[in-house]
Amino acid sequence: MENIANIFVKSIFIDNMIFAYFLGMCSYLAVSKTVKTSFGLGVAVAFMLTITVPINYLIEKYLLCKGAMTWISPSFADVDLSFLTFIVFIAVVASMTQLVEMVIEKFSPSLYNSLGIFLPLIAVNCAILGGSLFMAERSYANVGEAAVFGFGSGIGWLLAIVSLAAIREKIKYSKIPKALDGLGIAFIIVGLMGLAFMGFMGIKL
Amino acid sequence: MEKNRKERIFLDPLIRNNPITVQILGICSALAVTVKLQSAVVMALSLTFVVALSNVIVSLLRKTIPNRIRIIVQLVVVAFLVIVVDQFLKAYVFDISKQLSVFVGLIITNCIVMGRLEAFAMSNSPRRSFIDGLANGLGYGFILIVVAFFRELLGSGTIWNYQVVPQAFYDAGYMNNGLMIMPPMALIAVGLIVWIQRARQQKKEEGK
Amino acid sequence: MDRNKNSYIFIYSIILVVVVAGALSLVAVLLQPKQAKNYEIEQKRNILSALKINVETKEVESTYAKIVTEIAVDDSGNEVEKEDALVLYKAQTDKGLKFVFPLSGKGLWGPIWGYLSLDEDLNTVYGAYFDHKSETSGLGAEIATEHFQSQFSGKKIFNADNQFVSVKTNKRGAQNENEVDAVSGATITSTSVSEMIESCLNKYLPYIEKSRR
């Protein structure tokens, strides 16, 4: 239990997808102009991470790892399909995204309209695939831990994008050198936020 | 005219329309690998390879790909190439592949790759697509290498793992800036590059 | 031909998947031996590193073959031929006979591992090598640095009364020859290193005590 809380806290604050690994930057910078849309995208990303990480965990553990398929037949002990990891993970991510897109389109057309072209792009959002790859890399003990990691990373991403959007909404009123305005200043703000988040380093429960 | 256009395809993405600083694409996986010049170069080469080849493949297939599963087909092509790259890195430059860890896999979702496939390869001939992919990969690599150069120089006092800051500096109280190794500094570095580049472009336009 | 017909899409995807899977399997099978070799070299390099021998990648194999022999021991400390017994390494270096013990444990965020080499008296530590998967960089990750590892040289795993105490990390700094300085700010990782060394050496204790006598 303590372990799970630890993973949760760590994935939100210390190993934050944005500030520590720059994952999902493209949509992060492009969508973070207003708080409302960024909240929508953040929720979508958090949701996708929570679903795809555990699914990919199970696939990895029971199909892809070396000797993973022994539960089907002991003769598969030497089968190592881990080179297929990337392609299987991305397939899971892409198909889940398609599903979520259809659901959102049906139940919340306004959200669907405001997110515009970014929904299909969730499939190629590095944060989602990155979540699964980090999960594989760090070899979590069970599916619960993997799910908590996915959820925590998603919340971390949500937190990051909403706070950046809030800052960018305010900064519109400031005087910024013309060449730095827009993208340049956004990069620097994210960098400074990252520095602030480094204060959480070493935190644990 | 035709030649001119080809040159544009190649030169544009290098500076003026650089995928990172202007199109804001592909920052995702890139910056985490810029602590050391060596890993940045390998990453840049891997990405260039993947963009160029996937551009060619998709361009060859463009007349046969069913529109409805277009994204998935593109993803499969990219994922295939990335796995090949990853396997080769593991086999031939093991040390670097350890450092790059998951970031090679993340080339799959690098927006540059998907962006070029959608925007260019789906509607252009294989040869043009190849040049376009190559140029975008190099444009991306260029920024990566610039950032990595400064981060390694200031953060570890080395370049390409060779000590360049003389020992005398350390004796005189100089210290490596540990902050440069931390992730946020990569973002700030890119921010500054964007600033410089835009400022120069503005000057050029005003001068016209 | 209608590219949006279901049957076309279906056949198209099947062909795509078959082609891709075939090509990937081919690549994987061709490169497998080379990759396995890399892992092996990596392991050997780490063992050599615990013996304070740093050589170029291409010399790892030959150096290793020259000085290191692998032996296996059972629970009561006898050398055996069995495959699944505890493995340790004997090395004939130019500084005399050394014993290298593999270590593995759990750090704060993920697995940590390493090798510890002992002098011929099986008491004095000769060298140590640690690595980790995901400790905090700048804090826990310091265990993988030369600075931390070099402290272990010359420490003892038995105390003055000849009791096995292992080598521990101490937050307040090394107090005696069974302790090294912990990494400041990384208490859990440091404690994990202590625990890893103690629990792993414990398994070899019968062998160590037998050989010391």
Residues A64-84 pLDDT 10s: 877 777 777 777 777 777 788
Identify the band that residue B29 occupies on the pLDDT scale cut at 50, 70 and 90.
low
Higher pLDDT, A102 or B63: B63
Of B66, B91, B92, the CB nearest to C8: B66
Tell the residue number behind the tokens 């296996």, with chain if given.
C72
Higher pLDDT, A53 or B186: A53
How far apart are the C-alpha atoms of C53 and C18, rounded to whole Å? 48
Which of A138, A148, A200 best tests the C interface by mutation, with the highest count of C CBs <10 A? Answer: A138
The pLDDT mean for chain B works out to: 82
Give residue-wise pLDDT tens across range C145-187: 888 898 899 899 998 888 888 888 888 888 888 899 888 777 8
pLDDT of residue A150: 92
Interface residues of B toward C, Cβ cutoff 8 Å, are: 64-69, 72-73, 76, 80, 83-84, 87-88, 90-92, 94-95, 178, 181-182
Of B21, B54, B6, B59, nearest to B140 by C-alpha is: B21
- Give the H/E segment covering residue B195: helix B183-207
Number of domains in chain B: 1
Inter-chain CB proximity A138 and C110 less than 8 Å = yes
Give residue-wise pLDDT tens across range C91-139: 888 888 999 999 988 877 678 889 999 998 889 999 899 988 767 666 7
Of B36, B17, B49, B9, nearest to B144 by C-alpha is: B36
- The shortest C-alpha distance from A16 to chain C (Å) reads 13
Whole-Å CA distances, B3 to A14, B121, B128, B136, C18: 51, 19, 11, 19, 39
| Burial class (CB within 10 angstroms; exposed 0-12, middle 13-18, buried 19+) of C146 | exposed
- Give the H/E segment covering residue C63: helix C57-67
Higher pLDDT, C166 or C57: C166
Inter-chain CB proximity C111 and A87 less than 8 Å = no
pLDDT at B208 > cutoff 60: no
Of C23, C27, C42, the CB nearest to B94: C42
Inter-chain CB proximity B198 and A29 less than 8 Å = no
Identify the band that residue B1 occupies on the pLDDT scale cut at 50, 70 and 90.
very low
Identify the band that residue B108 occupies on the pLDDT scale cut at 50, 70 and 90.
confident
Inter-chain CB proximity B92 and C34 less than 8 Å = yes
Q: Is C191 on the interface with A (CB under 8 A)?
A: no
pLDDT at B102 > cutoff 80: no
How far apart are the C-alpha atoms of B90 and A86, rounded to whole Å? 15
Identify the band that residue B53 occupies on the pLDDT scale cut at 50, 70 and 90.
very high
Identify the band that residue B69 occupies on the pLDDT scale cut at 50, 70 and 90.
confident
ipTM tops 0.85: no
Beta-strand relationship, C68-73 and B158-159: unpaired
> At what angle are helices A85-107 and B70-92 packed, to 10 degrees?
150
Any idea how long chain B is?
208
pLDDT of residue A162: 93
Inter-chain CB proximity A202 and C110 less than 8 Å = no
Of B80, B109, B191, the CB nearest to A188: B191
- The shortest C-alpha distance from B54 to chain C (Å) reads 13
Sign, CA torsion C37/C39/C43/C49? positive
Supply the range of the domain harboring residue B195.
Answer: 2-206
Chains with ≥3 CB–CB distances under 8 Å to C: A, B
pLDDT of residue C137: 63
**Radius of gyration (Cα) for chain B, nearest Å?**
19
pLDDT of residue B58: 92
Classify C109 as helix, strand or coil. Answer: coil
Identify the band that residue B96 occupies on the pLDDT scale cut at 50, 70 and 90.
confident
**Parts of chain A with a pLDDT under 70:** 1, 114-121, 124, 201-205
- The shortest C-alpha distance from B110 to chain A (Å) reads 7
- B175-192: burial string, b at 16+ Cβ within 10 Å, e else: eeeeebbbbbbbbbbbbb
Mean pLDDT, range B11-27, rounded to an integer: 73
pLDDT at B91 > cutoff 60: yes
Which of B73, B111, B187 best tests the A interface by mutation, with the highest count of A CBs <10 A? Answer: B187
